Structure 1
């Protein structure tokens, strides 16, 4: 049960791309300070954010790195009955040039409008190192979880190569994924990320994660999964595949 809850929690983190960041207020000591931030997951499966040096939440994190990120299912009619997760974490600013470059390559695929922020507008990358997770999968499905993050085995050059190849040579297959999954088909679409459990598409300004039918641990398995989906008539049920 815990393993399934951890996977469901991780899938919620993958499916969404913005959340409410709560920090300890510097200006109003003792009060939590909430703000909205976009995020993607880094190579270790941790939330990666890009924030301004002059923002209030940045001042707060520099004083106290303890924070939380609350994420809920988008467009939920009844927020009490759908999944949500609170990531309790310690925020760390990236300072190593290699780590910053890797973060920028990944983040900029998800949020291309932010490509110059960290260079021209005094924005910095921060990673939220999870300490614990509080996951609620609906009424009665309440869990404290310690192990949710999953490292991306393809992060870096391998993932970049797969993403670029799909966008350059297999636009029809990507369009089929959009149609198969019922996502909006009236805006430009690009593949922006691949992990062991699925892929991220950027459609217009929105980010959407689609699961593979089975976990993929090698580029060959990813290729087989993408070919299978390109030929499928309906999106495969992962749980049925694993039953």
Structure 2
């Protein structure tokens, strides 16, 4: 008789929710995963990441970029948030993978101001015609808090 292995996923609790929310709140960059519509292959790139004035999850990207073109073809994407320090085992550090949908949103004054408060260097290009805000709407998330600390979170778990 084969013994069933216990699930490595822990029950989601308030601590896991708080850790995930803190990662999102503190992130200034993320890895964005999209699908290439021509090949079906994944494409991953680093993006600037932040929050809008309304708390939404945002990036500012050029319409000319490969990932923007791919997001327009298929808005389903993923974001990896959480950077490992230069020293130590990178697998021991907390990270959050979000499944999301992406949507281009208008450059409203409040969103622009919120973005610039965390990404002041983007002042150089924020007003270029090909740069737009993209809002990510979370669908679900996987939180890895280090070895033996894995959680599955809903979109609601990520809302403060």
Alignment TM-score > 0.5, same fold = yes
Residue 129 (structure 2) pairs with residue 118 (structure 1):
no
2:125 and 2:109 mapped to 1: Cα distance? Answer: 13
Secondary structure of residue in 2 paired with 1:129 = strand
Secondary structure of residue in 2 paired with 1:103 = helix
Residue 98 (structure 2) pairs with residue 87 (structure 1):
yes
Match of 2:81 in 1: 71
Match of 1:214 in 2: none
Secondary structure of residue in 1 paired with 2:127 = helix
Give the aligned length.
Answer: 146
Residue 60 of structure 1: which of 66, 70, 78 is its match? 70
Residue 42 of structure 1: which of 44, 52, 61 is its match? 52
CA RMSD, aligned part only? 1.7
Match of 2:18 in 1: 7
- Consecutive unaligned residues in structure 1, runs of 5 or more: 151-243
Match of 2:159 in 1: 149
Residue 32 (structure 2) pairs with residue 24 (structure 1):
no
Native 8 Å contact 1:46 1:130 kept in 2: no
Runs of 4+ in structure 1 off by over 6 angstroms are none
Question: Whose strand proportion is higher, 1 or 2?
Answer: 2
Match of 2:6 in 1: none
1:105 and 1:48 mapped to 2: Cα distance? Answer: 13
Instruction: Tell which structure's C-alpha radius of gyration is larger.
Output: 1
Residue 115 (structure 2) pairs with residue 107 (structure 1):
yes
1:43 and 1:2 mapped to 2: Cα distance? Answer: 27
- Consecutive unaligned residues in structure 2, runs of 5 or more: 1-11
Q: CA deviation at 1:44?
A: 4.5
2:121 and 2:25 mapped to 1: Cα distance? Answer: 20
- From the superposition, tell whether residues 144 and 104 of structure 1 become closer, same or farther in structure 2 (CA, over 3 Å): same
**Which structure carries more relative contact order (alpha carbon 8 Å, separation 6+)?**
2
2:152 and 2:53 mapped to 1: Cα distance? Answer: 23
Secondary structure of residue in 1 paired with 2:59 = strand
Match of 1:210 in 2: none
Q: CA deviation at 1:75?
A: 1.3
